[in-house]
Amino acid sequence: LAKTTQPISMDSYEGQEVNITCSHNNIATNDYITWYQQFPSQGPRFIIQGYKTKVTNEVASLFIPADRKSSTLSLPRVSLSDTAVYYCLVGDISSGYSSASKIIFGSGTRLSIRP
């Protein structure tokens, strides 16, 4: 099972771009990389998922180098409402479906945005 390592915390200011890097040295061939966002007393919320290169959606971009041993979540022009904990995790897709038990949440990165 691939474990992930993220910075414990990060600080930034409104309007800045924030990049959170996650290390996953033991990622398996079939593993996808998924990022979740969690606000206090709420469940995590899916942000973005990718396998390789770059993925972009309406809220974030995900950069994955060729060796896939790390990934970077990029949040453009953050606001105060982006203050949350961000989790990077990997999951396998055996038989095209990954079991929730194979999804391990790390400690997450606590992102604080200041005015």
User: Would you give the distance in Å from CA 56 to the centre of its chain?
Assistant: 13
68 binds other proteins (CB under 8 A): no
- Rounded to a whole number of angstroms, the minimum distance from the CB of residue 15 to other proteins is 29
Strands (E), the chain: 9-13, 18-23, 32-38, 45-50, 53-56, 61-64, 70-75, 84-91, 109-114
The whole-angstrom separation of Cα 29 and Cα 91 is: 10
Q: Which of residues 25-64 bind other proteins (CB under 8 A)?
A: 31-32, 34, 36, 41-46, 49, 51
Nearer to other proteins, 81 or 115 (CB): 81
The site for other proteins (CB under 8 A) is made up of: 31-32, 34, 36, 41-46, 49, 51, 87, 90-93, 96-101, 103-108
